[in-house]
């Protein structure tokens, strides 16, 4: 049954929500831009302090790219919950001046409006609801707002893993999926680099003396592409290729890169082993082939614990007469790092996105704010109480 008191409180909070949202969006916070990120850190820390949290500010290792914020709320219940959102965006300094926060019809636009500043405000708003309700029937609620998620969280992944071990559940606050969805799994990411070393020669006078690196790398690309596994949703897509600088010279070097996405950890292990063997099968003699794989985010695989969280979220959302869909995603997030540490996690709990994130079309559906605030607040209550 719908909690009328809570829903009305969420509606009453929307104006303050939008005001804080605008403040955060109108600060450039591209990953590594410490000046802007630390402005957001100061605002967020002030908000957390007013809500009664203990605060830890953790500068990134180079001390110029900003800081992470950890806020902790101690309660009187049993459940321990970690909520995560990120402050950084993919946009360069000056983007805010070109297209600041704006509302058009029922859509909110601006750099990072969906990914992921609306989610930061959503968590703060949910905690405000708990404070106003004098609700403390949770063991501990911790939030992590990091500043490097867009570059696979190199400075914060160890913090995520540590906090994940200390909590029962992880609620990742990436934007809600189009169609009003949450995310139940995410693929892990990796990059393959393929290099071929051949022998140069004149393409007109003596091409037979050359060992064409382009022709060999095309052969290798065809072979390596067969490592995809549609049944397990494993993809391997070559996306860049570089070779040669003169049209009349047989190239002695070629390099290509591929994007790899896997849902299951063992799939990347399989690809690594198979790629080495495939590289030995050359079409052009006397060439050298090197293949290497750099791992990014680990997979956030399908699991029963996440299924339970999805069912709880759908149950709460149904109180509003709304249907919450559950989807998987090819893109990674910090939920991947939490899940790799063994956490029971769910993602996509933020306000619902519209246009594609990371583009000028990024936007959020304004009328999703109140339902998503209600959902998050009730999730914190139910999980915090251990129900």
The helix, strand and coil proportions of the chain, stated in percent and rounded to the nearest 5, come to: 40, 30, 30
Q: Give the tokens for residue 202.
A: 């004149």
Domain layout of the chain by residue ranges: 4-187+300-384, 188-295
Report pTM: 0.92
CB atoms inside a 10 Å sphere around CB 45: 18
Which two structure tokens, joined as six digits, stand for 188? 């892990």
- Which helix (H) or strand (E) segment holds residue 259: the answer is strand 253-262
Confirm whether 208 is a catalytic residue.
Answer: no
Topology given in CATH for the domain delimited by 4-187+300-384: Aminopeptidase (3.40.630)
Q: Specify the pLDDT at position 101.
A: 98
Q: 344: closest CA among 333, 334, 335, 356?
A: 335
Q: Which residue has the tokens 């939008």?
A: 18
Question: For residues 226 and 215, what is the distance between their CA atoms, to the nearest angstrom?
Answer: 18
Catalytic residue among 22, 149, 216, 267: 149
Q: How many CB atoms lie within 10 A of CB 314?
A: 16
Each residue's pLDDT expressed in tens, for the chain with a length of 387 residues: 899 999 999 999 999 999 999 999 999 999 999 999 999 999 999 999 999 999 999 999 876 789 999 999 999 999 999 999 999 999 999 999 999 999 999 999 999 999 999 999 999 999 999 999 999 999 999 999 999 999 999 999 999 999 999 999 999 999 999 999 999 999 999 999 999 999 999 999 999 999 999 999 999 999 999 999 999 999 999 999 999 999 999 999 999 999 999 999 999 999 999 999 999 999 999 999 999 999 999 999 999 999 999 999 999 999 999 999 999 999 999 999 999 999 999 999 999 999 899 999 999 999 999 999 999 999 999 999 985
Clarify whether 308 is annotated catalytic.
no
How many other β-carbons are positioned within 10 Å of the β-carbon of residue 193? 14
Using the 8-state DSSP alphabet, how is residue 136 labeled? -
SS3 171: strand
End-to-end CA separation in angstroms for the chain: 16
Q: Which of 88, 148, 252, 347 is catalytic?
A: 88
- Residues belonging to the chain: 387
> Domain 188-295 carries which CATH code?
3.30.70.360
Q: Give the span between the Cα atoms of 156 and 179, in whole angstroms.
A: 31
Structure tokens at 327: 């989807």
């Amino acid at each position: 049954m719908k909690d009328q008191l809570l829903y009305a409180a969420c509606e009453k909070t929307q104006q303050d929500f939008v005001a804080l949202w605008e403040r955060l969006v109108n600060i450039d916070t591209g990953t590594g831009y410490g000046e802007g990120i630390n402005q957001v850190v100061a605002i967020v820390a002030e908000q957390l302090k007013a809500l009664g949290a203990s605060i830890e500010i953790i500068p990134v290792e180079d001390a110029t790219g900003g800081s992470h914020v950890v806020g902790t709320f101690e309660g009187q219940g049993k459940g321990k919950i970690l909520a995560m959102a990120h402050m950084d965006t993919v946009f360069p300094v000056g983007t805010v001046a070109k297209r600041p926060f704006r509302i058009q019809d029922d859509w909110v636009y601006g750099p990072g409006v969906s990914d992921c500043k609306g989610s930061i405000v959503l968590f703060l708003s949910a905690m405000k609801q708990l404070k106003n309700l004098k609700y403390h029937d949770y063991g501990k609620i911790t939030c992590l707002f990091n500043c490097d998620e867009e570059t696979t969280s190199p400075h914060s992944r160890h913090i995520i893993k540590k906090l994940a071990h200390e909590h029962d559940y992880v609620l990742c606050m990436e934007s809600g999926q189009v169609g009003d969805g949450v995310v139940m799994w995410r693929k892990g990411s990796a990059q393959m680099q393929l290099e071929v070393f051949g022998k140069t020669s004149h393409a007109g006078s003596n091409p037979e003396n050359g060992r064409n690196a382009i022709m060999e790398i095309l052969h290798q690309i065809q072979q390596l592409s067969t490592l995809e596994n549609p049944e397990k949703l494993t993809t391997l897509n070559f996306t860049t290729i570089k070779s040669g600088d003169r049209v009349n010279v047989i190239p002695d070097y070629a390099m290509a890169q591929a994007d790899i996405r896997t849902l299951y950890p063992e799939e990347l292990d399989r690809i690594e082993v198979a790629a080495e063997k495939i590289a030995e099968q050359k079409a052009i003699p006397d060439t050298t082939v090197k293949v290497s794989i750099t791992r990014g985010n680990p997979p956030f695989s399908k699991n029963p614990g996440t299924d339970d969280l999805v069912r709880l979220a759908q149950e709460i959302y149904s109180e509003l007469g709304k249907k919450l869909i559950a989807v998987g995603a090819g893109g990674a997030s910090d939920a991947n790092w939490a899940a790799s540490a063994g956490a029971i996690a769910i993602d996509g709990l933020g306000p619902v996105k519209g246009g594609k994130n990371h583009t000028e079309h990024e936007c959020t559906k304004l009328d999703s704010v109140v339902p998503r605030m209600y959902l998050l607040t009730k999730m914190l209550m139910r999980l915090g109480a251990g129900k």
